[in-house]
């Protein structure tokens, strides 16, 4: 790069089907056993993050598995996948706790917000969610609504039926829902921030 050339912007890596397939193959050549081992590893990572006081443990477990998938996709040789995943998890945990501390410090430094009417606080997020859901494709919108319907055993049963209806494994369905949430999150955040600025 010359002294006058523009710096290249880092492109955020996103999980691809190829990278996910690489992770599943590394877990087990058999598709069904690989999906089962993936779920067990993910559950173990969630427990790990909860044990270290990380609030968004599920998201951090998914981030860890995304990073491991990326390393496999890039051709990084990994002898012990479980040990490697927990090594990545320790790094993600450290980053997450540092970020949380910075955010708490920033919040403490802010002046106390003025109280707003109760109905406003309930309506703004709902309006933001409706607006952002409208940006999704009809298929993604239907999937995410069905995915989060119900609670407990009823929800688990509905998710199994949804996965079967779409011809997906439970893992593939969960990853699709995760990707849709990742699309929705910045839209909702921008909507909430613009609502806060208007106030």
User: Around Cβ 188, how many Cβ atoms within 10 Å?
Assistant: 16
Contact 97, 53 (CB under 8 A): yes
124 belongs to a structural domain: yes
pLDDT digits (tens, 9 = 90+) for 105-126: 654 554 433 333 334 444 446 7
* 63 located within any domain: yes
Kindly report, residue by residue over 17-32, the tens digit of the pLDDT: 888 899 999 999 998 8
Last residue of a domain, one of 86, 110, 134: 110
Cα distance between residue 25 and residue 34, in whole Å: 7
Are residue 39 and residue 103 in the same domain, yes or no?
A: yes
Q: What is the CA radius of gyration of the chain?
A: 20
Q: Which CATH number characterizes residue 149's domain?
A: 1.10.10
Q: What is the pLDDT of residue 106?
A: 55
For residue 72, being part of any structural domain is answered with yes
Q: What does the DSSP 8-state code read for residue 80?
A: -
Number of domains, the chain:
2
* pLDDT of the residue at 191: 83
Question: Whole domain around residue 48: which residue ranges?
Answer: 12-110
CA nearest neighbour of 128 among 190, 197, 199, 198: 190
pTM over 0.75: no
């Amino acid at each position: 790069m010359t002294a006058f050339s523009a710096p290249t912007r880092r492109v955020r890596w996103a999980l691809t089907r190829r990278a996910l397939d690489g992770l599943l193959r590394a877990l087990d050549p058999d598709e069904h056993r690989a999906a089962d081992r993936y779920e067990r590893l993910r559950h173990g990572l969630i427990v790990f993050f909860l044990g270290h006081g990380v609030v968004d443990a599920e998201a951090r477990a998914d981030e860890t598995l995304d990073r491991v998938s990326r390393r496999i996709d890039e051709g990084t040789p990994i002898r012990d996948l479980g040990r490697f995943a927990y090594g990545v998890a320790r790094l993600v945990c450290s980053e997450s706790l540092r970020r949380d501390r910075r955010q708490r410090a920033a919040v403490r430094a802010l002046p106390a917000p003025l109280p707003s009417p109760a109905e406003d606080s309930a309506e703004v997020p709902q309006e933001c969610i409706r607006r952002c859901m409208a940006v999704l494709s009809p298929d993604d919108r239907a999937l995410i609504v069905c995915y989060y319907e119900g609670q407990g055993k009823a929800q688990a049963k509905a998710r199994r039926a949804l996965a079967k209806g779409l011809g997906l494994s439970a893992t593939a369905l969960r990853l699709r829902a995760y990707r849709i949430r990742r699309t929705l999150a910045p839209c909702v955040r921008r909507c909430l921030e613009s609502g806060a600025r208007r106030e």
